[in-house]
Amino acid sequence: MTTSNNPINQQLLPTQRTQIKRLPKRGNYETQTIYNILDEALICHVGFIANNQPFVIPTAYGRVEDKLYIHGSPASRMLRTLTQGIEVCVTVTLLDGLVLARSAFHHSMNYRSVVIFGTANLVNDMEEKNAALQAFTEHVIPQRWKEIRQPNKQELQGTLVLSLLLNEASAKIRTGNPVDDEADYNLSVWAGVLPLQMVAGKAIDDERLIEGIEVPDYVQNYREARNL
Amino acid sequence: MTTSNNPINQQLLPTQRTQIKRLPKRGNYETQTIYNILDEALICHVGFIANNQPFVIPTAYGRVEDKLYIHGSPASRMLRTLTQGIEVCVTVTLLDGLVLARSAFHHSMNYRSVVIFGTANLVNDMEEKNAALQAFTEHVIPQRWKEIRQPNKQELQGTLVLSLLLNEASAKIRTGNPVDDEADYNLSVWAGVLPLQMVAGKAIDDERLIEGIEVPDYVQNYREARNL
């Protein structure tokens, strides 16, 4: 994969909007760090303004190089609003653990999040649209795309795809132990980190599945297939 | 717990903002359904407008009856902005599984989400503030509050707490199998649902933990302690 616009290890320039002001040492502007978080998470929260009102809508997404793609029905209020070229804020959050301190005050969470700003562009080119949908599927479940019936012309036309350039974004990351007040380290309270992780369970066959079709390996070993 | 303002099984009245327009059969306005989703999830995404720009920030939260509480440092840009009584949209999403159809077009996700609209109120009353912080801790990890050092006056004063009334909210839920085009049911493609779940790993002792303090049962058996 070429990354002509945002070579790996490049740093994005913090802007007024992306500069981490609160706890700046948690901020990170490396494209590779940002891409890794985007590639691991499964859903984003899209923020936009309609009628002077903020809306935050969860949706799936895909990434190709320095573009994030979201898609949906042309009947979606969110997508129709975004096609007007308005400002959007897309946030992706991975929760990695509970940080259990000795005092209530210092309880926290370990997390990795990305906040992206920009304006979404409607993807009209059928080839880019198809590539976006492929990225979308492969992002959620690698190796799936080649097995399934791919979109026909009617489905492609009936799907709205928006792209958002990943050139104004920042990551924020907390890791490690709780940080307690010095005096509290003497308290007889268990403290530490409880790691959290999104885990796949046992795949459930569709009730109309043709007899004899086995669960594919990339479904059975989902986290491994995603390199997690 | 009394729920005088929003008795269990009450239906919220859909408003212009909360009415589910896209796939309305997935919409749900029952307070109990909404509360269950809020109580199970660990983080919310808070959307607000500053400088004509949408922002979406992830944060933890707590619920007491028909109020959602968020909190943080008075230095937080988000919290300072919200104390101005501006419109806010808070979204909570639980991802329950991947819906793997026979065609790319019908791939989907099983999820439960809640979208709340309103304006946040600054909590000044110290008793309500303390109760909010307790709800906050007990929401994330039940049984923790009584074990830890609770907030002192200085910490309470140094914490900004905001409340949001849960009277304009809706849930959206997808469950079950993929729904494929009739012709595609003949394809030799595995289809079904891959359940996803947030799972706790093995607790990690803080490196300065006093020797001999064991991991509490409510940490060890986290999902059970949360009734999940």
Contact A213, B102 (CB under 8 A): no
Report pLDDT for A195. 98
- B203-221 pLDDT, tens per residue? 999 999 999 999 999 999 9
Average pLDDT score over chain A: 93
Bridge partners of residue A99, in order along the sequence: A108, A193
Report pLDDT for A159. 92
Residues of chain A with C-beta less than 8 angstroms from the C-beta of B57? 91, 115
- What percentage of chain B has pLDDT greater than the value 90? 81
Q: What is the 3-state secondary structure (H, E, C) of chain B?
A: CCCCCCCCCCECCCCCCCCCCCCHHHEECEHHHHHHHHHHCCEEEEEEEECCEEEEEEEECEEECCEEEEEECCCCHHHHHHCCCCEEEEEEEEEEEEEECCEHHHCEEEEEEEEEEEECEECCCHHHHHHHHHHHHHHHCCCCHHHCECCCHHHHHCCEEEEEECCCEEEEEECCCCCCCHHHHHCCCCCEEEEEEEEECCCEECCCCCCCCCCCHHHHCHHHHCCC
ipTM: 0.93
Six-digit token pair at B135?
């709800």
* Strands laid side by side in the A62-64 sheet: A62-64, A67-72, A160-165, A121-122
Contact B87 A222 (CB under 8 A): no
pLDDT at position A153 over 80: yes
How many CB atoms sit inside 10 A of residue B163's CB?
21
Give dist(CA A103, CA B206) in Å, integer: 13
Mean pLDDT of the region A148-170: 95
Closest CB to B177 among A150, A202, A207: A207
Residues lower than pLDDT 70 in chain B: 1-9
Residues of chain B with C-beta less than 8 angstroms from the C-beta of A178? 206
Contact A190 B219 (CB under 8 A): yes
Residue A214 DSSP one-character state? P
Q: What are the backbone dihedrals phi and psi of residue A151, each rounded to the nearest 5 degrees, phi first?
A: -60, 135
- CATH domain B24-177+192-199 topology: Pnp Oxidase; Chain A (2.30.110)
- The pLDDT-based confidence of A8 (bands split at 50, 70, 90) is low
Report pLDDT for A3. 41
CA distance A4 to chain B (A): 29
- CATH domain A24-198 topology: Pnp Oxidase; Chain A (2.30.110)
Higher pLDDT, A140 or B17: A140
Annotated domain spans of chain B: 24-177+192-199
Report pLDDT for B83. 87
- A171-211 pLDDT, tens per residue? 999 999 999 999 999 999 999 999 999 999 999 999 999 99
- What percentage of chain A has pLDDT greater than the value 90? 81
- What percentage of chain A has pLDDT greater than the value 70? 96
Model confidence, pTM: 0.94
Mean pLDDT of the region A161-180: 96
Report pLDDT for A45. 97
- B122-138 pLDDT, tens per residue? 999 999 999 999 999 99
Report pLDDT for B153. 94
- The pLDDT-based confidence of A24 (bands split at 50, 70, 90) is confident
Residues of chain A with C-beta less than 8 angstroms from the C-beta of B89? 47, 53-56
- The pLDDT-based confidence of A9 (bands split at 50, 70, 90) is low
- A74-113 pLDDT, tens per residue? 888 888 888 888 899 999 999 999 999 999 999 999 999 9
Apex CA A214: angle with CA A212 and CA A215, to 5°?
Answer: 155
CA distance B118 to chain A (A): 10
